């Protein structure tokens, strides 16, 4: 199964609704590429919705971490939403729960971007400065990654 990515905006937060498998087939590089494209456009508040992700392997975790570093380098943040039980186990086993803020409610996750202060708990965040965020409300896009 391919990885499908639906992009939507809520205020100044970009939500990527992911569907399918994140695994070592070149598809994971597509996820990181999509996130790099957003960062190049000035989008640095990104919420990844995993409610319809059926599998992630170690390669997918590496891409998730690389994406986090890319966004943090530009002063932004990636947060995770609706992790499946399998995803929670993988994130916990890999000790990544300290790197990512994880939410079960979309509105709580969106609100957390607004109330966050500079230099909060994320260890990667302390390595970068926080530039201004470009806003581009109302855009929606869908990407299909893989064959």
Predicted confidence (pLDDT) per residue in 3-31, tens digit: 889 999 999 999 999 998 776 555 446 78
Q: What is the C-alpha to C-alpha distance for residues 25 and 90, in angstroms, rounded to an integer?
A: 18
What's the rounded mean pLDDT across residues 90-111? 92
Q: What is the C-alpha to C-alpha distance for residues 43 and 25, in angstroms, rounded to an integer?
A: 26
pLDDT of residue 137: 45
Select from 71, 66, 26 the least CA-distant residue to 47.
71
pLDDT of residue 131: 33
Q: What is the pTM of this model?
A: 0.75
**What's the mean per-residue pLDDT of the chain?**
78
Sketch out the chain's domains with CATH numbers: 3-145 (3.30.750.24)
């Amino acid at each position: 199964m391919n990885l499908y990515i639906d992009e939507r905006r809520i205020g100044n937060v970009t939500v990527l609704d992911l569907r399918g498998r994140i695994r070592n087939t070149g598809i994971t590089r597509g996820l990181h590429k999509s996130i790099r494209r957003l960062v190049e456009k000035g989008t640095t508040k990104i919420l990844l919705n995993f409610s319809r992700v059926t599998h992630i392997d170690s390669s997918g975790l590496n891409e998730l971490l690389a994406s986090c570093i890319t966004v943090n380098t530009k002063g932004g943040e990636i947060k995770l939403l609706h992790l499946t039980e399998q995803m929670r186990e993988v994130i916990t086993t890999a000790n990544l729960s300290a790197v990512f803020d994880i939410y079960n409610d979309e509105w709580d996750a969106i609100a957390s971007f607004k109330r966050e202060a500079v230099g909060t708990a994320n260890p990667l965040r302390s390595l970068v400065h926080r530039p201004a965020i470009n806003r581009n409300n109302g855009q929606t896009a869908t990407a299909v990654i893989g064959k």
